Structures are given as C-alpha cells and as structure tokens.
Structure 1
Amino acid sequence: MEQKTMSIELREGSGKGVARKLRAQGVVPGVVYGKGIDPVSVKVAAKDLAAAIAGEGGVNSLITLAGGGSLSGSTVIVADMQRNPLRGDFLHVDFLRVSLDEKVKVHVPVVAVGTCAGVKEGGMLEVVTYSLDVECLPAAIPEAINVDVTNLAIGHTIHVSGLVLPAGVKVLNDPETPVVSIHGKAKEEAPAAE
C-alpha cells in the first residue's frame, strides 16, 4: 500500500466554537493518539485530508505526517472520522499513530466478487457483514476483503471461516459469523405433460 504524506499543524483551543471557526476556514480539527504518546490536538486542511484518504486503502491508508512539531515523520492511520451527514464535509478526524513493525486492529470492508450461481437461478445475494475486524501489520492492511461468490447457490452462506485472506491478515470476528448468503427459491421444473 502506498504511503502518502499530509501536512498538519498543532491546534490551540478546543470546543465547538473553535471547531466551527476552523471548519469555516476549510480546516478540520483532529487529534493524534497512540501507544506511548499523550493525545495531541491538531488541524489539517480539508483538501489535504481528502487527498490522503482518496484511492486505494481509503481511511486505512498509511499517512506520514509533515509538520506538527514532534509528530513530524510519524506514521498514522485514520482511526475515526466524523462527517456531516447531509453535505459530507469533514467535522473531526482521529489519527492513530502506528509503528510499521507492530500489528494494528482495523475495520476492513467486505466486497462480494463475481456473479453468483444462485442469483442466476432467481435467488438474491445478501451481504450480511459489511466490514470485518482484522489484525495485521500496517503495511499489510487490505483495501477490502474480497469474497468470491461465483459458486454460491441458493440457500448457502459463506462464513468468516470460509474466507480466503491475504497473507499476514487475521480476522478477529467469530469464525461462524455469516458474511454473504443467497436467499430465494430455486426455479421449479415445469410439470410433466400427461
């Protein structure tokens, strides 16, 4: 996964009023935290944040911080992000500082890949679990967990235990958790002519 660089600045003050003023200037308030450091209030230009999480990896992208005093050069991932539900603009972002040689726990989306045999028979594909909790090294965080549904027939389900995972990735969800399934009735054969 490509590691991107993003400029940040240390942030003075806190509260709704300060946050509103920052957002009006196109700046997103945030915080950086992680193992061995106290939380640090930061601010980042909204356009820089959008660029850093765009493309492959999305919010699980590895980002190298530029600026921010002692945070400069730190590697982070987006741990949490709040967006305006109507306009979609950023309200607040939490960055988790990570070490490239220590495993992290993150949420990764599930993507159904292929055309199901069960759908061709009149069934309907249901994605039951939209994201999975995984543990891996930061550089091994997958963009998504792809689930091949090509051979899935009506009435069948793929569980966490049946997933094919990238090397070095461990799913933390219960192995019996359903991920995708096919619902519906199989086509009935026409009655034989008398």
Structure 2
Amino acid sequence: MQQKQMNVELRSKTGKGISRQLRIANMVPGVVYGKGMDPMAVSINYRELQAAMSGSGGQNNLITLIGGGSLDQSMAIIADLQRDPIKGTYKHVDLHRINMNEKLRIVVPIVLKGTAIGVKEGGLLDLGHHELHVECLPGNIPDHIEIDITNLQVAHSIHVNEITLPEGVKIIDNPKIPVVSILGRAKEEAPAEA
C-alpha cells in the first residue's frame, strides 16, 4: 500500500456558499472524522488531493495529513469522494482518520490475470463483481486483488471463497458468491458411431 502526504487547512465556515468559493480558489471542501473525535471541516488543494490518490492504490492510499492543527501527522484514507456529474471534478471529500493498529473495512478492486480457456473456446467472460469488501489492518490494504482466470472453463465460476488473498486480509462478502464466470455452452462430444 502506498503512503502519501497531503496538506489540510482547518476551516470554521461551512455551507454551499463557502464550498463554492473554495472550489473557485482551486480548493476542495472536505471533512475529517474518526473514532473518538468530532468531525472537522477542512479544505484541500485540488492538485494535492489528486496526488494523494495517484498510483495503484487510488482512494485506498494511506494519507498522512500535514497541518490542520490537531490533525497534523494523522493517518487517513478517503472514505467518500463526490464528483461533479458532468465535469468529473472533485466537489467534496470525506477523510476517515484511522488507527494503524485497528482493522478497518474497505472496498478493493479486482484485477483479472490471464486469458481463460473458456474464452478461447468461444465462451463469454462475465465479471459479476469489480470489487470486494475486505477487512484488514491499514498497513495490509492491498492495491487490488488479483484473480488468475487462466484455467477457467466454459460454464464454470470462481467464487469468493476460492480467491487467494494476501496475508492479513479477510473478505467479508458472502463466500458463495460467484465473482467471475465463463458463460456459454460446454462443447458436446459427438455421439459414437455404431
């Protein structure tokens, strides 16, 4: 898991008008919350927020907050990111302050490895889930969960309980749910001639 740094500024004023002014000044309004603390309104430079999410970890990168009074040197992850539906720009960010010794639940993307035998035989790949819910310590957050589909045949699936996980990571989704399948009919053998 990648660790990033990001400057945050505490702000006392909140509301739509203030948020609009921050966005015009190339800042993103946000809030930091966590166990044992009151939520704190912050503002973050747009480019610094982009940099904090760069790399393979994306929103799951661990972020060290710099500045921001009592938040200085706190560890956080991005809990929610609101985007403008048309422009795609960041409108608001929720940061979850974390304790490195306490497990947390997050969503991790799935990456498929290889080309399935079933696809080569004419089957159709069906990725039923693009991400999985996992529980782990913050230092063990995987960038993604890789699933090798090379030996997957037509009319077969890989279920949650069949996925190999990094050490210290536990999937909390239903273990019987199929994650990836190959759709289509298995080839029928020609009847033997009499």
TM tier, smaller: over 0.9
Which residue does 2:94 correspond to in 1? 94
Aligned residue number for residue 163 of structure 1: 163
Alignment of 1:1-194 (within 5 A): 1-187=1-187
Query: Cα distance, 1:86 vs. partner?
Result: 2.0
| 1:107-148 CA-partner distances (Å, limit 9, x unpaired) | 111111110000000001111011111000101101111111
Given that 1:122 and 1:186 are in contact with CA atoms closer than 8 Å, whether structure 2 keeps it comes out as no
Q: How far apart are the structure 2 equivalents of 1:159 and 1:73? A: 40
Shift of 1:38: 0.6
Identity of aligned residues (%): 53
Distance 2:192 2:88 in 1: 58
**Match of 2:168, as an amino acid?**
G
RMSD after superposition: 1.6
**Maintained 8 Å contact 2:155/2:186:** no
Q: Distance in 1 between matches of 2:181 and 2:13?
A: 49
Task: Report the secondary structure of 1:50's partner residue.
Answer: helix
Unaligned runs of 5+ in 1: none
Q: Aligned partners of 1:188 and 1:85: how far apart in 2?
A: 48
TM-score, L = length of structure 2: 0.95
Rounded to whole Å, the distance in 1 between the matches of 2:45 and 2:191 is 67
The total of aligned residue pairs comes to 193
Cα distance in 2 between the residues matched to 1:109 and 1:174: 16
Structure 2 counterpart SS, 1:164: coil
**Equivalent residues of 2:65, 2:74 under 8 A apart:** yes
Q: Which ranges of structure 2 fall in alignment gaps of 5 or more residues?
A: none
Q: How many angstroms does 1:2 deviate by?
A: 2.8
1: CA distance, partners of 2:190 / 2:173: 43
Counterpart Cα distance in 1 of 2:165 and 2:85 = 32
**CA distance in 2 between partners of 1:156 and 1:180 (Å):** 9
Q: Once superposed, which parts of structure 1, at least 4 consecutive aligned residues long, lie more than 3 Å away? A: 186-193
User: How far has the Cα of 1:175 moved from its partner?
Assistant: 0.5
Mapped to 2, the partners of 1:191 and 1:25 lie a distance apart of 74
- Output the amino acid matched with 2:127: V
Give the 3-state SS of the residue equivalent to 1:110 in structure 2.
Answer: strand
